[in-house]
Amino acid sequence: MNMDNLVILWTDALVYLLLVVAIAFGIYASRKEHLRAPWRYVIRSKVGIGTLVVLLFYVVIGLSDSIHFHPPLDEPDKNGEVIYSSEVISLFDQMVSGLRARQEKTYSAPLATHLYAKENIELPDGTTIRDFPRLKYGGAHLQDPEKDWKGDIMALSALGIFKGLVLTLVLSNILLIFLTIRSGCSFEHTARNVLVGRTEIPWCVALAVLGLMLVVFMWSAELATKYHLLGTDKVGEDVFYQSLKSIRTGLLIGTLTTLVMLPAAVLLGIMAGYFRGWVDDVIQYTYTTLNSIPGVLLIAAAILMLQIYMSQHADEFNSLVERADLRLLFLCIILGVTSWTGLCRLLRGEAMKLREVDYVQAATAFGVGHFQIISRHILPNVLHIVLISVVLDFSRLVLAEAVLSYVNIGVDPTMNSWGNMINSARLEMAREPVVWWSLAAAMIFMFTLVLSANLFSDVVRDAFDPRLRSTN
């Protein structure tokens, strides 16, 4: 991959802009004790460090799925130069090209070797029977699936678990060597402290969660190379691949909406509470009016307008990926527009309280400008509210995408998302026999992300809320 075939989508650019902002904030927070202390509390919490490891797995997949490019074709042109396909794929697609390319005829159950429904099969002698056809890729390496399937599953599972344990052992030793060099103690002493939990950071919890994630990852990877781990959907696409691809959509909904919502919420909330008077009245009327409009109707109207625009200007989009990306970006903007009012109201009340404290009154008496007072005294003292609200809203926005896609006003139907998987599972649950694995896969991946985000947000709230921290 080089710069010539690199494709930068709008959401890709915003994702890495958000990553740069997060790194910049981390550097800034590391120099401020009042921000560094709460994060130390988060890292030293067993729940905080454990859920952070799980969230990092999701983030790594999401970032690798946000690097898009045109793949090169197998054959060069007449001059020997590389020809790039018009298709747009991501770095993650290239890493899991086996899952992406293996498409069956229709439904197949998890780890199955045959299709889920019977079909007419013509035998070599010309007779026709009705049976379950063999899959093209799932279990294709087995000579006799009825006899070899169970043993092959056990062997692949054992191999995957073994690889996960070895990888965990290697990473654990690397961490122990680093901690040994840092502490100056012996390797045995450091390992004993980590195992019994005598370290400031609960590395034993982090390594346990990391080991569990690596074992599950390697076990899944080993089985997915030979079978469809979570089955296939109506068109024969691998459900495990769809679930992994949906991670980026869920993360984007939760993070880019925050990027859209934060500037308006912080700026207007602080302005309303600090200046009061007619400024406060205008801002209050604005978010009160916006709150009076049903959010679902506003989102539906905006998405309908976007669909009309895209249908009338189809020549402006070079691929279906760019078309789906624009709809995703537009959905994030609409969700941001409809979700900034709650944080704005909180910041208004906090700024109204802070403008009456002694040091702000003293700065006003000495003639310090409003901008300096807001930037030096108001904004730093409301950052904990901003951070708590952002982390708490993340899981709510992930679930909102699933609900909106379920009613067909979410992301583009061609884009992989847990909401689209749940939406398609409506009809699958009504057929006989029931196709349950698409719904189950979406629920498992979404449940793990939302549960980890909720637990992590609880720790962040406890760390950054001065009232809760003072009681601990």
pLDDT digits (tens, 9 = 90+) for 103-133: 888 888 898 888 887 777 777 777 777 778 8
Looking at the DSSP assignment, which residues form a beta bridge with residue 238?
232
Q: What is the mean pLDDT of residues 262-291?
A: 86
Q: Cβ(182)–Cβ(176) under 8 Å?
A: no
Q: Which residue bears the tokens 């896969």?
A: 441
d(CA 212, CA 179): 22
User: If pLDDT is split at 50, 70 and 90, which confidence band does 471 have?
Assistant: very low
Average pLDDT for 190-209? 85
Sketch the domain layout of the chain as residue ranges: 240-455
Instruction: Round the CA-based radius of gyration of the chain to a whole number and report it.
Output: 26
* Residues in a beta bridge with 232: 108, 238
Question: Average pLDDT, stretch 24-45?
Answer: 83
- Cβ contacts of 400 within 8 Å, gap of 6 or more: 253, 335
Residue 238 has φ and ψ, to the nearest 5°, of -65, 125
pLDDT category at 209 given cuts 50, 70, 90 is very high
Buried (b) or exposed (e) across 217-246, using 16+ Cβ within 10 A? ebbbbbbbebbbbbbbbeebbbbbbbbbbb
Residues 271-290, mean pLDDT to the nearest whole number: 86
What class, spelled out in words, does domain 240-455 have in CATH? mainly alpha
The owner of tokens 């049976």 is: 131
Query: What is the pTM (predicted TM-score) of this model?
Result: 0.85
Give pairs for 284-289: CB < 8 Å, separation 24+. 284/348, 287/340, 287/341, 287/344, 287/345
| List of residues 6+ apart from 93 with CB closer than 8 A | 65, 100
Please indicate whether residue 312 or residue 154 has the higher confidence score (pLDDT): 154
Torsion on CA atoms 453, 459, 460, 463, rounded to nearest 10: 180
Dump strand ranges (E) for 305-410.
Answer: none
**Among candidates 43, 9, 63, which has minimal Cα distance to 255?**
63
Contact 221, 197 (CB under 8 A): no
pLDDT-based confidence at residue 170 (cuts at 50, 70, 90): very high
* Nearest in space to 209 (alpha carbons), one of 40, 56, 395: 56
Backbone angles phi, psi at 23, to 5 degrees: -65, -40
- When pLDDT is averaged across residues 80-87 and rounded to a whole number, the result is 73
Taking residues 233-240, report their average pLDDT. 88
